[in-house]
Structure 1
């Protein structure tokens, strides 16, 4: 797991990425690191006050679950992070069925792209609209190896999101949206500078910071004590 210090460093390939997207034929291999080293979950001694964590962001949160849930989980993730994709494949389904759908947990995913391609993935998810954003994030994680780790990742990304109804014209326009790009960069930098996020995935569970991919049992051990009155 790794992350550059600032979104200006992380996302400095934006212009090249947009040109690549417009061409839909060039590769941006080399702009991102394939995969992440194995990571173990570790509790962080310092937490973040929940009111600070939940203050208004550059982009509005698109939450899953009840606003009155006793536990709020905020995840910072990158679309090209293999550990993030693994969390969505192995842990998120149980988290959703056992805790989110039952009103026990409110879940929020925030953008923390580690590279320009991850930023592109988040951009198209936002451009799809609030009602589709989380579903597209899940789709991109599920299909990560089929677009992020290919010879022509931008072309593969465009073809994948076409399945959701996004046209090539809309896709290219989305990646040229400088305002959206800047807001994603601000979310990244806020997390890094104010909350100490320096790797993905990073979770805040009622403000308590946890780094690394978690299996269902590890997550339950953190959530369940918070549900006891």
Structure 2
């Protein structure tokens, strides 16, 4: 796994359980140096461990099998693109106020969609993992609400567009982003983003991240193999190609 990465991180209050999970699952490499703030994040220090250092790096056995099993592959998942039976699943834990998440969304993700999602190789499943406070949480719920009207990817693109973060994610701004994304029923959108279903969906995603030791954004799993930070495109294509070859060699996903 690449060891130089760019992430954003804020302290979490779930230290004991998360630390156990991180060590157990070989995810020491998630950890990053804290940025100065979410606007001016600096590159993280080199990882203290890599996927190849972790015990039993075969994605179908040991700790990595547990991580690979986090792929939901749910029909009708509004926060996913790609076939449910794709041989490779990339899970992304991200925050709409994270500058490096935005960089990945603008520079890398479209290339992965073009190269791998469109030919059926890759499925991308997004997990909302807000770590920068109330506006991060509101944006995550708004993205989920946009997804209920099949506009998640358009909202995702609008919220991560150049300069979007600087305008904040207050309620009026989120409605404006929904309008930009083509959400057809804005009244339903407003009700959905403040409703219990949005809150429950956010809890599900965030608790999953806490459970496996995610502390920084963006963080990724490629068929259970962790990648930390907004790595160059080549790091993701290498991981996806490797996972595809492993899946093909096993005659299945």
Q: Structure 1 pair 179/6, CA: closer, same or farther in 2 (3 Å)?
A: farther
Gaps spanning 5+ residues in structure 2: where?
1-7, 15-36, 55-62
Aligned equivalents of 2:235, 2:71: Cα separation in 1: 24
Aligned to 1:177: 195
Q: Structure 1 pair 181/152, CA: closer, same or farther in 2 (3 Å)?
A: closer
What CA deviation, in whole Å up to 9, does each residue of 1:28-52 have, x standing for no partner?
Answer: xxxx843432247854444542454
Aligned equivalents of 1:41, 1:125: Cα separation in 2: 32
What's the Cα RMSD here?
3.0
The CA deviation at 1:79 is 0.8
The CA deviation at 1:179 is 4.2
Aligned equivalents of 2:193, 2:144: Cα separation in 1: 11
Aligned to 1:191: 209
Q: Structure 1 pair 127/153, CA: closer, same or farther in 2 (3 Å)?
A: closer
Task: Name the TM-score, length of structure 1 as normaliser.
Answer: 0.74
Aligned to 1:37: 42
1:122 to 127, 140, 145: 140
4+ long deviations beyond 6 Å: none
Aligned to 1:208: 225
Give the secondary structure class of the aligned counterpart of 2:150.
Answer: helix
Task: Name the TM-score, length of structure 2 as normaliser.
Answer: 0.68
Aligned equivalents of 1:53, 1:41: Cα separation in 2: 26
Task: Name the count of aligned residue pairs.
Answer: 201
Larger RCO, structures 1/2 (Cα 8 Å, 6+ apart): 1
Aligned to 1:3: 10
